[in-house]
Amino acid sequence: MLHLLTNSGQRRLLALFMSLMLLTVITASAVSESVTRRILATQIEEKIALIGYLSESGLLVESEQMNHITLSGLLDGRYDNTLLASGQSWLAAYGFAEPDTWTFYAAYGTLKQRTLLSVFLPAACVLLLLAFFCRQILSGLYRQIRRIADVSHLAAAGSDSMLLTDVSIRDEGDLAVLWHATVHLIERVSAQLQSLKKDKRRLQDFLSDISHQIKTPLASLQLYLDLMQDTAMAQDKRASFIEQGLAQVRRIDWLVQGLLKMARLDAGSVEMKLIPADLSTTVQQAVAPFSEIIRQRHLSVRNLVEQGTIWPHDPEWLSEAISNLIKNALEQVPERGEISISSVQTPLSLQLQISDSGPGIPSQEISRIFERFYRHDTAIRPDSVGIGLSLARAIVEQNGGDLTASSPPGSGAVFTISFLKNP
């Protein structure tokens, strides 16, 4: 029973019922005392009046005369004060004073006890039933509160939020409001915990990616620097090592910049400024940084997107995505190869297609080429970092589009950026 008193509300209720029980006992005792005295006083007065009548009639001595009408009235409780005073006077002569007479009456104790029980027992039963029902109601209430507390503890410990569906609150009042508020809080906390876990895993992956990807170019750069410490090295060879070292530095810079952009996109800290802009201009902006490479390798890069092709996008970031796709194409096409960027409009969508004349992508690798740091074997330049396509897809999705890849048999790769038109 002690566990029932762990709540202050239950303790207060118990104290209230004990106080009510004590008050009932005191009230029943007082009522029984008053009622008993009144009943006995009435009976005694009737008998005193009878004695007074008998005394005045002389029947208490030897007379056999009796007024039967008056006697029947006395027995029925009808008498006058004259007879009552006469009876009191007669009893006083024998030492029986009226105020104390009832205390000597034989039936006083029994009558008082019965009156007390008749008042106390019904009141006590009502109180006990009321206490029982209140206890049942409070026990159910506290049981549901304990359920809410248990669910909150489990959620705080990281348990599955699906456990919320295992708890039903049979109430439509304040307890239901408390439960729904608790569920809302648990769901928010659970979402925040999941977000923190994802951020932690993302940070771990980010650090692992950086350490893994930077390790190789740093080792190459260190090797070139060690070789150039040879003072007898020919100048042309030294110049070659310097150029290769600079290439590794540029690779590290590209890698770090790409990883930082990926991290910002993953964290949702990049706000795309989607404005109606000409996609042809955005494509030109994406091609411009590669003009020297295109010239040196005698490549043909054609921008076939029509002027005035307006679409809401972030020109800076979408240009970054297209640049990564062009860079990927440059790594695939041989000398004097071709790269084309074209647009296709349908009633439902607007598409940008970046195609090249390279060897294409094996069908078994198409599903993996957007994985971070994945590099397929057909690349002309095996030193590719492997984050460009992943970064391009993330940027395109942030601009409300979708990036897919295909490789028709006998031709190069085709990357398609699709934007759905509003109906």
For residues 31 and 54, what is the distance between their CA atoms, to the nearest angstrom? Answer: 35
Which of 155, 181, 202 represents a domain boundary (last residue)? 155
What pLDDT shows up at residue 2? 47
DSSP 3-state assignment of 302? strand
Q: Which of 139, 155, 171 is the last residue before a domain boundary?
A: 155
For position 349, what pLDDT does the model report? 92
Encoded amino acid at 113, one letter? Q
| Torsion sign, CA atoms 10, 13, 18, 19 | positive
Of 355, 201, 330, the closest CA to residue 254 belongs to: 330
The token pair at 122 is: 């019904």
pLDDT band with cut points at 50, 70 and 90 for residue 396: very high
What's the whole-number mean pLDDT along residues 203-227? 77
Q: Is residue 384 part of a domain?
A: yes
Does the pLDDT of residue 165 top 90, yes or no?
no
- Looking at residue 321, what is its pLDDT? 92
**233-237, 323-327, 407-411: which has the highest mean pLDDT?**
323-327
- Which of 155, 175, 201 terminates a domain? The answer is 155
Distance between CA 146 and CA 423 in Å, rounded?
A: 51
Highest average pLDDT, of 35-39, 167-171, 367-371, 377-381, comes from 367-371
Please state, rounded to an integer, the average pLDDT across all residues of the chain. Answer: 76
pLDDT digits (tens, 9 = 90+) for 169-194: 555 667 677 777 777 787 787 788 78
Percent of the chain with pLDDT over 90: 19
Examine the domain organization and report whether 151 and 289 are in the same domain. no
Q: Does an H or E element contain 356, and which?
A: strand 349-356
Same domain for 281 and 140: no
Nearest-5° angle of CA 11, CA 12, CA 13? 90
Among the residue ranges 78-87, 188-197, 202-211, 412-421, the one predicted with the least confidence is 78-87
Report yes or no on 400 lying in a domain.
yes
For residue 74, being part of any structural domain is answered with yes
Question: What is the per-residue pLDDT for 403?
Answer: 94
Query: What percentage of the chain has pLDDT greater than the value 70?
Result: 68
Distance, in Å, from the CA atom of 228 to the CA atom of 223, rounded to the nearest integer, reads 9
pLDDT given at position 319: 92
221 part of a folded domain:
no
The total of structural domains in the chain comes to: 2
* This prediction's pTM: 0.53
In a domain, 19, yes or no: yes
423 compared with 25, residue with greater pLDDT: 25
DSSP, collapsed to helix, strand or coil, labels residue 258 as helix
| Confidence at residue 375, expressed as pLDDT on a 0 to 100 scale | 64
The answer on pLDDT for 56 being more than 80 is no
**220 occurs within a structural domain:** no
Q: Is the pLDDT of residue 62 over 70?
A: no
Q: Which residue has the higher pLDDT, 315 or 229?
A: 315
Q: What is the pLDDT of residue 63?
A: 43
pLDDT for residue 20: 76
How far CA 321 is from CA of 15, 102, 131, 194, in Å, comes to: 75, 112, 74, 29
Asked if the structure places residue 352 within a domain, the reply is yes
Given a cut of 90, whether residue 215 has pLDDT beyond it is no
238 or 384: which carries more pLDDT confidence? 238
Find all residues with CB under 8 Å of 382, minimum gap 6, and list them: 375
242 in any annotated domain = no
Helix residue ranges per DSSP H, 268-401 = 279-287, 291-296, 315-332, 388-398
CB-based burial of residue 70 (10 Å sphere; 0-12 exposed, 13-18 middle, 19+ buried)? middle
Q: Determine the structural domain holding residue 67 and report its residue range.
A: 2-155
Residues 7 and 141 in one domain: yes
- Among 68-72, 150-154, 204-208, 415-419, the range with the most confident prediction by mean pLDDT is 415-419
Give, to the nearest 10 degrees, the angle between helix 235-267 and helix 174-227: 180
- 326: pLDDT strictly greater than 80: yes
pLDDT of res. 214:
78
Q: Is the pLDDT of residue 64 over 50?
A: no
Residue 411 class from Cβ within 10 Å (0-12 exposed, 13-18 middle, 19+ buried)? middle
Residue-level pLDDT at 423: 62
In the predicted model, is pLDDT for residue 219 greater than 60?
yes
